[in-house]
Amino acid sequence: MCKKEKYINEFEDSIYGFVEEQKQYVSTENGDWTIKGFIDIYKNIFTISSDTKIVSKILEIHIFPEILKFAGKIGYKIVLAEHQNWYPDITFVHKKNEEIKFALDLKTTFRRNNNSAGFTLGSHGSYFKDRDKSKNIQFPYNQYTGHYCLGIIYPYRL
């Protein structure tokens, strides 16, 4: 097994375990979400609307501290995309070997009547064609050891 394959296998095993742990973090035993709204400085509580952009952002913010802990636990630091429309959302960079980088894009969609809406997988910008360029991407595409999407599917009504 080549050295990169070892990193890939370790990262994949770790990310699958992370996903399993997150099921308990984001929802109760009966499937209810652990976040029901947000609070302002005056202690007013607001329920989450069904606007998919709001729900998606809240879910991403909710699991972000868990992603930070996960990265540290498996020996990686994270680099966030410098711009909102850059790929990927998060880059995992190995602390001991910075040549090892994994792209993680966070994707959310909703489920209604046991069917889920599709995920938008991005613009597939010029970085797919010119893999050594850095336009709209955190690091050139060819510097990544692997590319992953973390899909979060939530009920239409929280």
Residue 1 has pLDDT above 70, yes or no: no
Q: Is 69 a catalytic residue?
A: no
Looking at 43, 89, 96, 130, which residue is catalytic? 89
**Structural domains in the chain plus CATH codes:** 3-155 (3.40.600.10)
Distance, in Å, from the CA atom of 71 to the CA atom of 89, rounded to the nearest integer, reads: 14
Looking at 107, 129, 133, 135, which residue is catalytic? 107
Residue 8 and residue 146 in contact, taking contact as beta carbons nearer than 8 Å: yes
Range 131-143 average pLDDT: 85
- For residue 137, the tally of other CB atoms under 10 A from its CB is 24
Q: What is the pLDDT of residues 53-67, one digit of tens each?
A: 787 788 888 899 999
Q: What is the pLDDT of residues 62-108, one digit of tens each?
A: 899 999 999 999 999 999 999 888 889 999 999 999 999 999 998 87
Looking at 13, 43, 105, 132, which residue is catalytic? 105
Q: Is 105 a catalytic residue?
A: yes
Q: Give the rounded percent of residues in the chain with a pLDDT score beyond 90.
A: 41
Q: Is 107 a catalytic residue?
A: yes
Q: Give the per-residue pLDDT at 127.
A: 67
Residue 156 and residue 110 in contact, taking contact as beta carbons nearer than 8 Å: yes
